[in-house]
Homo-oligomer: A and B are copies of this chain.
């Protein structure tokens, strides 16, 4: 009775993810992750919905559960890739700088740049309650990104590992707080390119203030 039109997409159009053989997707996981990242980019962390992600991937709202369990599972996968991208950005930023202080400044700029370029993804990466916080791979990705940071800080701070930890926490807190406050508009609306430039210029001064080239730069 209900078979003739029961074929996959009721509108007759093939789903975005190719289905040369029936209605199987083949790469649903990747499609869902890509869709989620697109939603985060377009509507921010609060704009994400699982159903919309499924919609964009061309599947039913229940399909994602077979691959990710629930929305948290999918978002965790997105967050993992986010941390990997962040770690890569931090690594790239530190390369080719002459000294430790320049590397730290470059990483700070890269961190905020990352946050302002991908606000939704960034916010989601730190929305613990929307992720599987104790996921093994997520924890590893976070740790890897953190190490990328500590590596540079260690050169500056020297001393005991504990002192390095403090210095890293200080640097991370500062750039993270700056990024968060900037995203919430506390440093002026950074919507257009001009506002964004202004924010980055302010960040340079903040970094120069807290990690000066030498004592004279403070005054």
Chain A: residues with CB nearer than 8 A to chain B? 44, 46, 126-130, 133, 142, 159, 166-167, 169-170, 172-181, 184-187, 202, 205-206, 209-210, 219
Contacts and interface: CB of A to CB of B under 8 A. Distances in A.
Contact of A185 (B128, B180, B206): B128
A172 B177 contact: yes
Given A169-B181, A176-B177, 18 more contacts: A46-B127, A46-B129, A126-B180, A128-B184, A133-B185, A166-B202, A169-B187, A169-B202, A170-B206, A170-B209, A173-B177, A174-B177, A174-B210, A176-B181, A177-B177, A177-B180, A180-B180, A210-B210
Tally of this chain's copies: 2
A109 to B, nearest CB: 14
Contacts of A174: 170, 173-174, 177, 210
A142 B184 CA distance: 12
The A contact surface, by secondary structure, is helix
Nearest to A180: B180
Task: Name the 7 nearest CB pairs between A and B, nearest first.
Answer: A177-B177, A173-B177, A176-B177, A173-B178, A170-B206, A174-B174, A166-B205
B44 A129 contact: yes
